[in-house]
Chain A
């Protein structure tokens, strides 16, 4: 049971470089999201999607792009990395139908990104 899989687990970038954090889930969840976790600030929502072709912004979307071409995958793109994007990134998903309104999210193990 893979659940939510994130790659890479660790990445170091230089300012201005681009990269994509990958997220895949095998639970057929309609909803997928990206959060960043910073010390003392908890988790903040970056972008989310409620199905293929549908994305929306969260609390801190600037500097990040997303797309959802399949139910399984929800990549997060940094087009020009900045030191302020140094963080731990979590992908999370949930079932919109069977989950009803429970709000329970299933998280990946996280991707630690350092921007120098």
Chain B
């Protein structure tokens, strides 16, 4: 079945460090891929998405590229801020199956000044 695997956290970084959170997936066909972010005490919100191979999603300085050959969608940011501290979830939706988003376990990021 479809699944999403994320690197285990927590990830602890100093402000202005480079961030990578790994995400790989298993799916048939051509799923759409998402990164959601959950700030403390809040619900999840969409950070970025990519709907086909080689697409790059970007938002708020974060980027992720849909790599079909490696079935990956790693999240990157060149310079993190304390305000980026949150839990990040990778997710996929099977083509035509957007009613059932499948989420990874989440990766907690803590950024220190």
Contacts and interface: CB of A to CB of B under 8 A. Distances in A.
A53 interface: no
20 contacts: A4-B43, A31-B99, A42-B105, A42-B106, A43-B44, A43-B89, A45-B101, A50-B99, A56-B99, A90-B44, A94-B98, A101-B98, A103-B101, A104-B49, A105-B36, A105-B46, A105-B101, A107-B45, A109-B41, A109-B43
Interface residues of B, number: 24
Contacts, number: 61
Interface of chain A, main secondary structure: strand
A50 B104 CA distance: 23
A56 B99 CA distance: 10
Interface of B: 4, 6, 32, 34, 36, 41-46, 49, 51, 89, 93, 96, 98-101, 103-106
